[in-house]
A and B are shown apart, each in its own frame.
Chain A
Amino acid sequence: MTGLKIIVLAKQVPDTRNVGKDAMKADGTVNRAALPAIFNPEDLNALEQALRIKDSYPGSTVTILTMGPGRAAEIIREGMYRGADNGYLLTDRAFAGSDTLATSYAISCAIRKLDFDVLIAGRQAIDGDTAQVGPQVAEKLGLPQVTYAEDVLKYEKKRITIKRRLERGIEIVSTPVPCVITVNATAPDCRPRNAKAIMKFKHAKTITELQGADEDYMKMHDDRPYLRIEEMSVVDVQADTKWLGLSGSPTKVKTIESVVFQAKESKRLTSSKSDINALMNELLANHTLGN
């Protein structure tokens, strides 16, 4: 059996899990400079599923596709360190300000240019928390989609079998390829970076990153074509700019409220049984505890 061509959709996001005081700017937008840029966590779960397919079906390849500014090339390298074979960076000023609809349009245009059997993405990104891009891409490409995936079980006779983690149980489904899968955080963690892969791919660069490199470095890149991270622009993917950026994004932010958590009132309890019972009843009544 020949292997599968897998594309993993990944996003570079600000690390919102460890927010400090300066995580938000005064105007209520995210202060990206204060937060480290990381590989979106559920996209790492997605990458692990892709790598497991690659391990089980020799000849498979894993390609990372990301959309973002030039520095997002870093997560393509991150993916390569963990076992991905190559990557594409979809980058253009025209993409700036895109909401999920415009983003999924741009990504679907890029994917039409690529050859693939399976598209795997994380369920959602930790900056926007929308969980819309994966499903929208599937719709735009007219492909079957499996969301909330936890484990890709097998691939046989052009069909892929997947375990889904749902609110009240699991579901095993099967779908023909090509298809789109979005993966939950409950799926296995991504494997660590591999020492040899890191040494092999640490010089992987986009053409933009190579600007100003010396002759020796360029020669190394000519000798080692696998070090090239391909850039794709609006023109490359033949996207219509009216569906991109702000003009292609119906989502408009109306207002942003900066929520500051603070204790407004305090209550003093004694250690008596009645005080504790009263507190427990209150917590149960306002659903702080239980369902």
Chain B
Amino acid sequence: MANFYTDNKDLKFHLDHPLMKKIVALKENNYVDKDKYDYAPVDFEDTMDSYDKVMEIIGDISGEIIAPNAEAVDAEGPKVVNSRVVYAKGTQENHDAMANAGLIGISLPRKYGGLNFTITPYVMSCELVSRADAGFGNIWGLQDCAETLHEFANEEIKDEFLPRFNKGATAAMDLTEPDAGSDLQAVMLKAHYDEKKGKWLLNGVKRFITNGDAEVSLVLARSEEDTTDGRGLSLFVYDKDDKTMTVRRIENKLGIKGSPTCELVFKDAEAKLVGDRRLGLIKYVMSLMNSARLGIGAQSVGISEAAYREALQYAKEREQFGKPIIQFPAVYEMLTDMEVKLKASRTLLYETCRFVDMYKAYNIVAEGRKLDKEERAEYKHYVRLADVFTPLLKAITSEYCNEVSYDSLQIHGGSGYMKDYPIERIFRDARITNIYEGTTQLQIVAAIRGVSTGSYLKQIRVYEAQELKPEYDYLRRFLIDMTAEYETTVSNVLDINGKEVDNDYLDFHARRLVEMAGNVIIGYLLLNDTMRDSDNEKFAELFIRKGRTQNKEKAMYIENFELKNLGVFKK
């Protein structure tokens, strides 16, 4: 009777955040759907109650179906039969259960059969599913593609494709190629418009495509002849029913084995243009990637949750030297550190979700009427916050997820290295999270903008001004000191040359600076969480204490680092 939602009170805690009132009001637009759809909510409380009940279904399916299937799915994996992907038996069962429960297209508008949920509960569903099976988390999370179609495609495409999701259609985003991985500007797959057929045709190869044989695929292709950069790329939607795209092979991976990673061959494959030409990479894929990164953040938190629980249970049961190993300081310190990282990841995850939710909700409002000046300002404010928080989230949660899985396996000792316990699989699954959808190193490239433009600092000031219980003032004082230290360190790096920023030097220290900002931000978030539940005090205190030490180390390293020292590292 496992339910991954009800067995974890943190989830409802984050779902019930006060900002949800505003987000839901915008998203439900005065509850206009209530007379049109029998499942539409009538007011805010009703909406939140629906979120809660639907999360309970997902928690149930995750605990009762997906998690029990995970081991067999990992062993069996998908295969290619006649150029088509066949899922492992358990993967298909998982997908069917989600589809039959009417859960796919969870954030699509009701007129397309969706549930019209905000991003926060959707991301929570990704966390729940990933705790059960991270590999299946990908197949589940790719419904993001429906969001992209909804946001950018024309009405005809929307009417054709979107209603298929709630009926069970899966999706894929076909971006990378053998020579275009992190650098998507190098995409070569060709799209040309066939005047006779009046259709776009795709030709070329895509590689490392997750769930590549999905019913609906978004394909990034070069539509403009004689171009070599990102501005020659457009986004297309391909329908599997056309059967002109074939699967050449699937990769044999370290982890997330249930999620098929495909090499695809397009030969005169008919596809439809999404939005405008030339905006494929620079606009649509950037938006899609941001959603995907949020999804990987959720996946990372889900994996951390699973890894932490495995370690806790093992440490309680395993006896050595006449007592359970959880009683040894070396073990309980690791467990508590893991738990703190888990709570830290989760609070950052749902804060980021709310920023995304705010601006996406304004997008919907803007479809119906013009936003007023104040609303436009707020919209832009949240777009900026989402932009700098998303890479921060992806970097921090995926690294933590690796650390937590590593420590969990360590607590299992030799048994953890064997296939006898789930941690062996969880450890392998964790390893991809800081690689795909942009490595941590690339997240830092995006996140450093939050440092150099002062966006993180600005948000830190907002947190600083928030009301707090007086008994936690000592923690706030730590955070204020950490902020001052962060400011000094940032200006040291930016001003190293006297006038112009030395980009190599900034890039060199970028990760340190981003992590310093991250520690302050997460410290405040955990501290704010104590306002609604004082049980969080312990985690705020432990996190801030450690974060403070880490930041001092980084600040000192940078303080004692001169421009010329860069040369020592150059290869």
10 of the cross-chain contacts (CB-CB < 8 Å) are A191-B100, A192-B60, A192-B61, A194-B100, A195-B102, A196-B102, A197-B102, A199-B39, A199-B40, A200-B38
* Known A18-B1, A191-B100, A192-B101; contact A198-B38, beta-carbon cutoff 8 A: no
Q: Contact at A202–B38, with CB atoms within 8 Å?
A: no
Q: Contact at A202–B53, with CB atoms within 8 Å?
A: yes
Q: Is A112 an interface residue (CB 8 A)?
A: no
Among B1, B50, B65, contact of A198 (Cβ-Cβ < 8 Å): B50
Q: Is A224 an interface residue (CB 8 A)?
A: yes
Return the CB mask of B1-14 against A: 1 if under 8 Å, else 0. Answer: 10000000000000
Number of chain B residues whose Cβ lies closer than 8 Å to a Cβ of chain A: 21
Q: Contact at B39–A196, with CB atoms within 8 Å?
A: yes
| CB nearest to B47 among chain A residues | A199
Residue among B39, B42, B97, B103 with the highest chain A CB neighbour number at 10 A: B39
* A202→B42 CA distance, assembly (Å): 12
Q: Contact at A224–B54, with CB atoms within 8 Å?
A: no
| CB nearest to B41 among chain A residues | A199
Q: A192-B100, A194-B101, A224-B38 are in contact. List 11 more A-B contacts (CB 8 A).
A: A191-B100, A194-B57, A195-B39, A195-B54, A195-B57, A195-B115, A198-B50, A198-B54, A199-B53, A202-B49, A202-B50
Q: Is A220 an interface residue (CB 8 A)?
A: yes
Q: Contact at A196–B42, with CB atoms within 8 Å?
A: no
Residues of A within 8 A of B (CB): 18, 191-200, 202, 216, 220, 224, 226
**Would you give the shortest CB distance from A188 to chain B, in whole angstroms?**
12
Among A18, A192, A199, A220, contact of B97 (Cβ-Cβ < 8 Å): A192
Residues of B within 8 A of A (CB): 1, 38-42, 49-50, 53-54, 57, 60-61, 65, 97, 100-103, 106, 115
* A195→B55 CA distance, assembly (Å): 9
| CB nearest to B51 among chain A residues | A199
Among A18, A193, A199, A226, contact of B50 (Cβ-Cβ < 8 Å): A199
Q: Contact at A192–B57, with CB atoms within 8 Å?
A: yes
Q: Contact at B57–A198, with CB atoms within 8 Å?
A: yes
Residues of B within 8 A of A198 (CB): 50, 53-54, 57
| CB nearest to A202 among chain B residues | B53
Residues of B within 8 A of A220 (CB): 42
Residues of B within 8 A of A192 (CB): 57, 60-61, 65, 97, 100-101
**Would you give the shortest CB distance from B379 to chain A, in whole angstroms?**
28
* A45→B126 CA distance, assembly (Å): 29
* A196→B104 CA distance, assembly (Å): 11
**Would you give the shortest CB distance from B477 to chain A, in whole angstroms?**
46
Residues of B within 8 A of A195 (CB): 39, 54, 57, 101-103, 106, 115
* A226→B38 CA distance, assembly (Å): 10
